[in-house]
Amino acid sequence: MKSLIRHASVATAALLLGLTATAIARADDKPTLAFVVNGASDFWKAAEAGVKKAQAELPDYNLELKYPEQSSVAIQQRLMDDLVTAGVKGIMVSAVDPKTSTDGLNKIASETALFTTDSDAPQTKRVAYIGSSNVDAGKQAAEIAKKAMPDGGKCLGFVGLLGADNAKERIQGMKDGLAGSKIELVDVRGDDIDQARAKKNVEDALVASPDITCMVGFYSYNTPRIYEALRDAGKLGSITVVGFDDDPITLGGVKEGTVAATVVQQPFEWAYQGMKLMAAYLKGDKSGIPEGGLIIIPTKIIGKDDVDAYAANLKAMSGN
């Protein structure tokens, strides 16, 4: 299987989209709202579609989706600083590393309306978080593993940013969900959202840890890299794979039975609802902000019986 969309083209297209939107904002003086992601990944294509839908319903605003050049705290901070300097009225961000970014995020919050998505930064002055309960998503991953391996086993996880809240919460949620079972999540390897490194982590694990019977891809691209490494090693089907998100390779693996199931999120809704929430907030309407500022969009498990219908709905949402 091939990925339908190349990561570099995603980032380039989004960058051009953002530059175009900025130019329009300067031309017509409409307030601009920005959705800033944590790195280039096909995962964010659905969010692009959500921003596009919100734009159609918010004609008095210019909406942008921005990719940092690299998945780096410093580069993401510079991107947000540039947006503030350009006069952006609100930013929704998936912070690369919330724990080490408190001061930087609070600086942004003091200059514009700051919302978080995907990975929350509750210690900051953000207005609200809209996204998944990553703990619950981790527990759903545990349910997949327990169903696929009733006799137990050892799982090894792979993730992009070990320090990000979404990663830590998914990992902890899975450990909680596995408590009392015969399955153990023995370790998690990080790759800093480096696609080549992500695959190499899996390849190295196949050599160094032959007792591993399960692999978990905690970020959207991790499961495809697991799939590719297992395929190249001739081990597809011999190791249980638990996925996250809906990369085409992941969904293809679910359909053919080489991926047990995948936990999917709703980045389309994060972007669509998030942009509308920010616009309302800027107009003084805070009714959509609950106490505590947490707006949870549920995750769900997609298995072999659900994958075709899910893929068709995803295609329709994205307009492809």
H/E segment holding residue 197: helix 195-208
- Whether the predicted model's global pTM rises above the 0.85 cut: no
pLDDT in tens, 167-218: 999 999 999 999 999 999 999 999 999 999 999 999 999 999 999 999 999 9
Q: For tokens 């695959």, name the residue.
A: 199
Helices (H), 245-306: 248-256, 267-282
Residue 315 covered by a domain: no
Instruction: Tell me the per-residue pLDDT of 154-180, one tens digit each, with 9 for 90 and over.
Output: 999 999 999 888 899 999 999 999 999
Query: Phi and psi of 252, rounded to 5°?
Result: -65, -40
Q: What is the mean pLDDT of residues 71-91?
A: 97
Question: Is 308 within the bounds of a domain?
Answer: no
On whether both 180 and 281 belong to a single domain, the answer is no
Alpha-carbon gap, residue 216 to 242, rounded angstroms: 5
Residue 300 counted as domain residue: no
301 in a domain, yes or no?
Answer: no
DSSP, collapsed to helix, strand or coil, labels residue 32 as strand
Range of the domain at 72: 7-132+266-289
22-36, 91-105, 147-161, 292-306: least confident range: 22-36
Q: Secondary structure of the chain: what % helix, strand, coil (to 5)?
A: 50, 20, 35
Per-residue pLDDT of 273-288, as tens digits, reads 999 999 999 999 999 9
CATH number of the domain at 146, please.
3.40.50.2300
Could you tell me the sign of the dihedral formed by the alpha carbons of 211, 215, 218, 224, in that order?
A: positive
Contact indicator for 135, 302 with CB cutoff of 8 Å: no
Kindly state whether residues 77 and 150 are assigned to the same domain. no
Same domain? For 115 and 221 the reply is no
Same domain, 67 and 152: no
Pair 23, 44 in one domain:
yes
How far is 287 from 266, CA to CA, in rounded Å? 22
Task: Report how many domains make up the chain.
Answer: 2
Indicate whether 76 and 175 sit together in one domain. no
Q: Is the pLDDT of residue 301 over 50?
A: yes
The distance from CA 178 to its chain's CA centroid, rounded to whole angstroms, is: 23
